[in-house]
Amino acid sequence: MNLWNIRLIASKKQIIFTTHSPMMLNYLEDDIALQSVIYIKNNDDTGITSACRFFETSEVKTKLEYMGPGEIYANIDLKELL
């Protein structure tokens, strides 16, 4: 499945897309990335799972001014987000 097909599907339905390549995020339009990318983390100590919109955290939002979404994801300490 290529990115064009993913965009067509995403425009009509909700989909869950996973990848091991954070650079795939660079192919999303910024406004779609801001609304759609959810970061989910499980706390090993408590077993509690929490989630947030990845690009709405203050640390990440400021980096969008000079980095692409995939670059941010690849260069941030994910353990510090939630």
Q: Rounded distance, CA 23 to CA 8, Å?
A: 20
**Both tokens assigned to 82:** 């939630």
* pLDDT surpassing 70 at residue 48: yes
Q: What is the pLDDT of residue 4?
A: 56
Mean pLDDT in the chain? 79
* pLDDT surpassing 80 at residue 81: no
User: For the chain, where are the E strands, in sequence order?
Assistant: 38-42, 49-53
Instruction: Report CA dihedral (33, 34, 36, 42) to the nearest 10 degrees.
Output: 110
Provide the pLDDT confidence category of residue 49 given band limits of 50, 70 and 90: very high
Residue matched to tokens 């994910």: 78
Total-model pTM: 0.65
